[in-house]
Structure 1
Amino acid sequence: MRRTTRLFVAVAMLVPLLVACTGGTERSGIVVTTNILGDLTRAVVGDAVPVTVLMQAGADPHSFAISARQAAEIERAALVVHNGLGLEEGVARHVQAAVAAGVPTIAVAERADPIQYTSDESAGQPDPHFWTDPARVRMAVEAISAEVLTEVDGVDADAVQANTRRYLGELDQLDRWMTDRFAAIGAERRQLVTDHHVFGYLAQRFGFRVIGAVIPSGTTLASPSASDLDGLAAAIRTAGVTAIFADSSQPDRLSRVLAEHTGLRVQVIALHTESLTAPGGGAATYLEMARANTEAIARGLSGPTP
């Protein structure tokens, strides 16, 4: 082989590598941080775009971490869908790196009319747990759909729009059902105690009063003091609370200690608050999770006074 021919072949093989190293790699697919957002995104795009969800079923969105391979997937994505407002504490730096690299991203909670925490150590900070209000989920779905149509090249726009309309109809149906189900709970019983502050949006939308949380924070990474538990036990006794709601994917030991500390007959009831389950686990989709939680809350707050 002549020297010029060998040189041409070598350069031809090197060019794709140089392009990849300088950021010229074609971006494709959608990467989603949490599994709740993953379900919403898949409902919107269907089979039109590959969707990769980083958070496994049953994981804690505040603390889950990702591998180097998954971090690379974020930077190669056509779109990164993340919750934002401080929820994904273990993945935030990777999302920030993707933003710096020019990857299109959407912080969904920021597009869902966020509220602020109103009590305990998170007061004044934005609350990222928008999905407990189906009306906010409607806003989130519309935002995801618009971002997909804008940022993902070659997407089947007709399919995405049809999927979005169908899913918004299901959310409207869910919203009406939750409203009717909660209407059966007397106003004096609409009182919530949870393992950490996760139901602010639901409380605002459906007229519940948040008495307090076992972990007086919006993150599971915090921890309560003895005085925190004493104060919450006193508040529970004063309000006549009948149930403490704890995340099914987290240990409920502190919730049970608190229930005993009240000296009253207070149930500890498991909910699916921050993560979907594997198929068959009772909350494999957002719609299934919302219905299961609504039923559990309605039953728990309709029981006998402690």
Structure 2
Amino acid sequence: MKKSNIRTFGAFAMVLASFLLSGCVPESTADGTARIVVTTNILGDVTKNLVGGAAEVSTLMKPNADPHSFEISAREASELSHADLLVSNGMGLEEGLEQHLESAAASGTRRFVAGDHLEPIAYDSEAGNNTPDPHFWTDPARMLDVIDALTTELRAVDGVDQQQLERASASFREQVVQLDLRMSDSFALIPSERRALVTNHHVFGYLAERFDFRVIGAVIPGGTTLASPSAADLKDLADAIRKAQVPAIFADSSQPDRLVQALARETEVQVEVIELFTESLTEPGQGASNYLEMMATNTERITRGLG
């Protein structure tokens, strides 16, 4: 091999070794573009809409997954510490990622936790469960609080194109404002006595508070999908459904509706089981490929089921 070729190969090897030792930082950081990593696909979609093309956004949670139980690979976990900004939901939602999020924060990764920028509600204060409810996105008004706070955070991240950010964030914010108005108009068609919600687990506390619904209960107790109801839980909920004359039960698309179907049979009355998209976005064409579509689909189905 010629000496010039040997020197060239040696230089290439040194560059390659340096790249590998640096943790395989994505090319997007090499050209100065900020890299933002988001945990859930709902927040991932919101973040992408806010930044437009002002930064690179990658989302860890795949479509149709459960945020309470999804996991990431060792490679994905190691890359968290190389993000310019790590966006998460917080309030205990990403149960399977918590150790990785804490590790990234300990290494100095800049973090934005959505739950730190809104007024949370408890799952069920009357039942003694004062744990913060992480499902704030069912209320567009609270999502607007997060949008405003995240936009402010993004302005301070190096490598974010500020002009693109301002244009994109203003446009998306207005779309969420219009979503809130359309939801109000649609839910106004439901008589007050029929504004009663039953789901497979507690996800609609914020929506209920914002749009004046009553949460009768959930098949799975608590706020996580990882728990299981007892026979007594199902009986008590069935009794409540009969008493409230609930016409429909709503099952989340990311969870099997076997328990909801069993509850519908337990009530011994005619109860429709309707699928909603509450925990996760879907693939395109499945009804909830982005946040705005998810909320519009749910609004239409709740209005039809209870109206």
> TM-score, structure 2 length as denominator?
0.90
Equivalent position of 2:244 in the other structure: 239
2:169 aligned to which of 164, 169, 174: 164
Which shows bigger deviation, 27-36 or 236-245? 27-36
User: Per the alignment, in what secondary structure is the counterpart of residue 268 of structure 1?
Assistant: strand
Equivalent position of 1:252 in the other structure: 257
Residues 68 and 19 from structure 1, CA distance in 2 versus in 1: closer, same or farther, beyond 3 angstroms?
A: closer
Q: Which runs of 4+ in 1 moved over 2 A?
A: 12-21, 119-122
The amino acid that maps onto 2:123 is: Y
Equivalent position of 2:73 in the other structure: 67
Aligned pairs, how many? 294
Matched, 1:47 2:53: yes
User: Per the alignment, in what secondary structure is the counterpart of residue 237 of structure 1?
Assistant: helix
User: Per the alignment, in what secondary structure is the counterpart of residue 212 of structure 1?
Assistant: strand
Whole-angstrom distance in 2 between the partners of 1:125 and 1:110: 14
2:99 aligned to which of 93, 105, 128: 93
Whole-angstrom distance in 2 between the partners of 1:84 and 1:246: 23
2:159 aligned to which of 149, 154, 159: 154
Matched, 1:83 2:89: yes
Give the share of equivalent positions with the same residue, in percent: 54
**Unmatched segments (≥5 aa) in structure 2:** none
Residues 15 and 280 from structure 1, CA distance in 2 versus in 1: closer, same or farther, beyond 3 angstroms?
A: closer
| Residue 271 of structure 1: how far off its partner (Å) | 0.1
| Residue 116 of structure 1: how far off its partner (Å) | 1.2
| Residue 20 of structure 1: how far off its partner (Å) | 3.4
Conserved 8 A contact 2:55-2:159: no
| Residue 15 of structure 1: how far off its partner (Å) | 9.6
Whole-angstrom distance in 2 between the partners of 1:18 and 1:65: 24
User: Per the alignment, in what secondary structure is the counterpart of residue 235 of structure 2?
Assistant: helix
User: Per the alignment, in what secondary structure is the counterpart of residue 131 of structure 2?
Assistant: coil
Conserved 8 A contact 1:121-1:217: no
**Unmatched segments (≥5 aa) in structure 1:** none
5 Å-filtered alignment, 1:195-234, equals 195-234=200-239
Matched, 1:131 2:112: no
1:264 aligned to which of 244, 262, 269: 269
RMSD, aligned CA: 2.4
Conserved 8 A contact 1:35-1:55: yes
Equivalent position of 1:20 in the other structure: 22
| Residue 92 of structure 1: how far off its partner (Å) | 1.0
Whole-angstrom distance in 2 between the partners of 1:13 and 1:133: 49
User: Per the alignment, in what secondary structure is the counterpart of residue 194 of structure 1?
Assistant: strand
The amino acid that maps onto 2:84 is: A
